[in-house]
Amino acid sequence: MFETHARAVRGSPFDSDKGLLALDFVSQRFHAEWFYINQGIELAPGETSSRMLLIDDPHELKALLSSRTTGAWIQEIYLVTPGDVNKTGSWAIDLLIEISEISSGSNVSSSDFIYRTDSRDGKCFSKKTDGIWENLPSKTIYRRNLQDLSPGEPSIGAIL
């Protein structure tokens, strides 16, 4: 969960969405994985830019991936992990290649995730493995395509 103090909140200095707030800083309450998303946006016909989104919940990322927004698309997603998750002892950021979801019942919030990245090891887990849950049937909810998509096309990573 990202959080900030009231003094860090201010109006956006950019000509952007009304009501959009600029934050001088945020903090993360828990040592857990989060996602750094590079989102392409179409400003006007033939004029594009990008913005970065920070999402700390894989269910929110799943909702973003399943939404279809005209003039916005996902360019890249990075997985940011603390050392105990990525097994290096230090925070790391890696290009996300695939997410698989393992649901342990009808409760959506009881899902666990397996992340495949471009790092040496290439695999991270949303919780400690126990030899059981990570071997249950899974559903791929995101896979990075290697083609370069233009505005108006579906996001590079899509719910499968």
In this prediction, residues 11-34 reach a mean pLDDT of 73
Domain ranges of the chain: 1-30, 31-143
Cβ partners under 8 Å of residue 160, min gap 6:
139, 140, 141, 142, 143
Is the pTM here over 0.85, yes or no? no
Task: Assess whether pLDDT exceeds 60 at residue 5.
Answer: yes
In this prediction, residues 76-96 reach a mean pLDDT of 90
In this prediction, residues 76-82 reach a mean pLDDT of 93
- Distance, first Cα to last Cα, the chain: 26
Instruction: Give Dmax over CA atoms of the chain in angstroms.
Output: 51
Give the pLDDT confidence score for residue 79 in this predicted structure.
Answer: 94
In this prediction, residues 101-128 reach a mean pLDDT of 76
More confident site: 122 or 72: 72
